[in-house]
């Protein structure tokens, strides 16, 4: 099966632990590559590579100040992830609500709850 490239979208971009760490560091505010390297103790080339992936999917924005580049979080780009989580929760909540209704119906049909004891054969 063909795998999507890691730069494909927000979901894959945040699937990598170091990239999530970088996002966590940037929650505090705008930082240079050097400051991120210092905080996370990840080699600079790797941090730059991750920042490139994060930039490509719009999770971080970059601006040049003098000779250094400053990176900041772009929270709006996390929207698809939040939407996905919301949908996942909605789907499972609905399924479990159906199970809930069904359990109540079964017990109602049985007259009283403790008539259903055939659980474990």
Partner 1 sequence: MTTTRHGSATFEFTDRAVTMQRKFEAPLALVFDVLTKPEHVRVWFPADDVSLHICEIDLRVGGEYHYAWYAPGDKECSFRGTFFEIERPTRIVCTWLFEGWPDDEAVETMTLTEDGGITTLTDILEFKTPENLGDHFQVNDGAQASWDKLEDLLAGLQAGRS
We find the least distance from the C-beta atom of residue 99 to partner 1, in angstroms, to be 4
Q: Which of residues 2-61 bind partner 1 (CB under 8 A)?
A: 2-5, 8-9, 11-12, 14-17
Binding residue (CB under 8 A) for partner 1 from 27, 65, 67, 117: 117
Distance in angstroms (rounded) separating the CA atoms of residues 62 and 47: 14
The DSSP H or E segment spanning 75 is none
The DSSP H or E segment spanning 86 is helix 79-109
Question: Do 72 and 61 touch, CB atoms closer than 8 A?
Answer: yes
Query: Residue 31 phi/psi, 5° resolution?
Result: -140, 155
Binding residue (CB under 8 A) for partner 1 from 28, 29, 72, 106: 106
Which residues are at the interface with partner 1 (CB under 8 A)? 1-5, 8-9, 11-12, 14-17, 80-81, 84-85, 87-108, 113-114, 116-121
């Amino acid at each position: 099966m063909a795998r999507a490239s890691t730069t494909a979208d927000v979901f894959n971009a945040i699937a990598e632990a170091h990239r999530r760490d970088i996002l966590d560091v940037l929650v505090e505010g705008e930082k240079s590559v050097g400051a991120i390297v210092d905080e996370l103790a990840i080699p600079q080339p790797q941090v730059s590579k991750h920042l490139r992936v994060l930039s490509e999917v719009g999770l971080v924005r970059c601006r040049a100040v003098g000779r250094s580049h400053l990176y900041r979080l772009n929270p709006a780009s996390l929207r698809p992830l939040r939407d996905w989580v919301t949908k996942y929760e909605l789907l499972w909540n609905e399924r479990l609500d159906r199970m809930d209704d069904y359990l109540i119906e079964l017990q109602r049909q049985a007259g009283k709850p403790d008539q259903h004891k055939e659980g474990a054969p």
